[in-house]
Structure 1
Amino acid sequence: MTGWGQVLPFFVQGVEVVDAGLTGSSSRSFVEAGRLAWILENIAPGDVLLVSFGLIDMKPGDGRFTEPFGDYQWFLRQYALGARERGAHPVFVTSHERRAFDDHGNMRRPLGLYPTAMRELAMSLSVQLIDLNEWSVARWRQAGPEGTKELFLHLEPGEHPNHPDGIADNTHLRGHGAMECARFVAGEMCAKGLLTPEYFRNLDARIPEAAVEFLDDDVFEQITKERVGGLAPMAGNAGLT
């Protein structure tokens, strides 16, 4: 399992990339766990904050769900305004689409209104938007039901020691898919002038999946524990937009 933020440094140079993403987080649960507070405690003027949620926000019944044009937008607003209050630059990135095809090979769009809600809020707040969702829909359609298995976490039994029985995950990416998404995001950052061109590299290079590195488990656990801020969770008015 590989996130596009994890591999973004392959395409950006001369700046520190801090991947603060946490698997299984929604825009709500990330805030309520104090992880946005940690970001806002450490962010500096001139920094760029990439904000991407939606894949988990749509899951009901576990304390992570948000309504697209309700509390989803409310929480996204906290990321954008919090960054701006500290002199940083928020950027919304719509979530990549899930791998979802019907029996005839037609791609479905289970994320529904979440990308639209993010686009609407970006426009109303004048926040830069990178539309990874729309790009991914075109890319997944091009690859088709079989080709997208090379982008998502689809493994045969015995193919990887972490999944001895195999896995068919249509939400999370593997290295190839993460690289393609990160390349698109970096290219859009360059095109939109979020950083000047000298900060980008490898935008046309094919980087092998084997180049992806992972933290040791104990280091990962330590960082996860440390990245919780001391500010009170901002959930009191979660229904407001």
Structure 2
Amino acid sequence: MSLTRRQTAAALLALPLALIATPAVAQQAGSGGSKPRLRTLHIAGDSTAAQKYADAAPETGWGMALPFFLGRHLAVANHAVNGRSSKSFIDEGRLTALLHRVAPGDLVLVQFGHNDEKTEDPARGTDPWTTYQQYLRQYLDGARRRRAQPVLITPVERRRFAADGTAKPTHGEYPAAMRALAAEEGVPLIDMQALSLARWQGLGPDGTEALFNWLEPGESPNYPDGRQDNTHFSPAGAVEVARMTTRALRDRGVLVPGDVRSLGAPVSGHRIVWPQPA
């Protein structure tokens, strides 16, 4: 597929250049209490959601696009980190740090699975029906202790198609294990695995290429030899997944209509900002 076709496909999902928008951040009350703290959506997850920096552009995590679909009274704190599983995120102290910032009424969005599947790596691998659920319970319990609402999100699907063009699931038993845990614990579930698989099926192999980090040689200085990445998103793909996530949060009653915006409107991937690495 030519670069022109990819850009054309992306344009169907987004308007051309728009105003630059940076992710929302939580505001603490000022010295006089004049700036109340925003209700915050905290994201615990892996590279599919994580903040990306200038040296990785145009790779984009869906958490970077989430603020585009939220009301101005909501903030996003993106704690997701490349390569982490439900286990390694906890073992590295990242859940403890996340919960330290959580206030009553906040949301804690939990999406893991991609790296839990790497069972050959003892630092990350989990078993879907035992240790995966055990680690996920720690996120649920921690959020509840902070009087926040935990939300489980099944892992977003990779771009994988059979020879006949059928979109293929890639996450094994992990989505089913998360669904079962959500039902057992009475926690809202966003079934992003099912939602994204259906979306990729509708777009087909050609239509989905623009949503992933596929680049021609020389197209990006960060990837001089090009890239064919079927896991991580382009700006347009991150926007699409963030839109699906926000719509599902509204449909599940986790967010109310006044919490969301732009769900039916084109949102440009050009609004994505990749800061310099710290």
Superposition TM-score tier, normalisation by shorter sequence: 0.7 to 0.9
2:93 is matched with: 34
* Cα distance in 2 between the residues matched to 1:141 and 1:191: 22
1:6 is matched with: 64
2:225 is matched with: 165
Query: CA offset at residue 196 of structure 1?
Result: 2.4
1:205 is matched with: 265
Written as runs of structure 1 = structure 2, the 5 A alignment for 1:120-199 is 120-199=180-259
1:79 aligns with 2:79: no
* Cα distance in 2 between the residues matched to 1:79 and 1:52: 11
Scaled by the length of structure 2, the TM-score of the pair is 0.76
Task: Kindly provide the CA deviation profile for residues 177-233 of structure 1, in whole angstroms up to 9, marking residues without a partner as x.
Answer: 111111111112222222322221111111122111112212xxxxxxxxxxxxxxx
* Cα distance in 2 between the residues matched to 1:107 and 1:196: 32
* Cα distance in 1 between the residues matched to 2:172 and 2:252: 26
Scaled by the length of structure 1, the TM-score of the pair is 0.87
- Aligned to 1:18, the other structure's residue is in SS state strand
Task: Kindly provide the CA deviation profile for residues 8-59 of structure 1, in whole angstroms up to 9, marking residues without a partner as x.
Answer: 0000121111111111111111111110010111111111100000111111
* Cα distance in 1 between the residues matched to 2:87 and 2:117: 11
Deviates more, 1:102-111 or 1:61-70: 102-111
* Cα distance in 2 between the residues matched to 1:109 and 1:15: 33
Query: CA offset at residue 130 of structure 1?
Result: 0.7
1:61 aligns with 2:134: no
- Aligned to 2:230, the other structure's residue is in SS state strand
Task: Kindly provide the CA deviation profile for residues 76-107 of structure 1, in whole angstroms up to 9, marking residues without a partner as x.
Answer: 00000110011010000111111111333232
* Cα distance in 1 between the residues matched to 2:196 and 2:146: 32
Q: 2:224 is matched by which residue type in structure 1?
A: P
Task: Kindly provide the CA deviation profile for residues 131-188 of structure 1, in whole angstroms up to 9, marking residues without a partner as x.
Answer: 1110111111111122211111111111111111101111111111111111111112
1:107 aligns with 2:170: no
Q: 2:270 is matched by which residue type in structure 1?
A: A
* Cα distance in 1 between the residues matched to 2:190 and 2:98: 20
Q: Where does the alignment leave 5 or more consecutive residues of structure 2 unmatched?
A: 1-58
Q: 1:98 is matched by which residue type in structure 2?
A: R
Deviates more, 1:56-65 or 1:17-26: 56-65
Equivalent residues, number: 218
Runs of 4+ in 1 over 2 A off after TM superposition: 102-107
Identity, in percent, stands at 45
* Cα distance in 2 between the residues matched to 1:99 and 1:73: 25
Query: CA offset at residue 4 of structure 1?
Result: 1.2
* Cα distance in 2 between the residues matched to 1:133 and 1:110: 9
* Cα distance in 2 between the residues matched to 1:95 and 1:144: 20
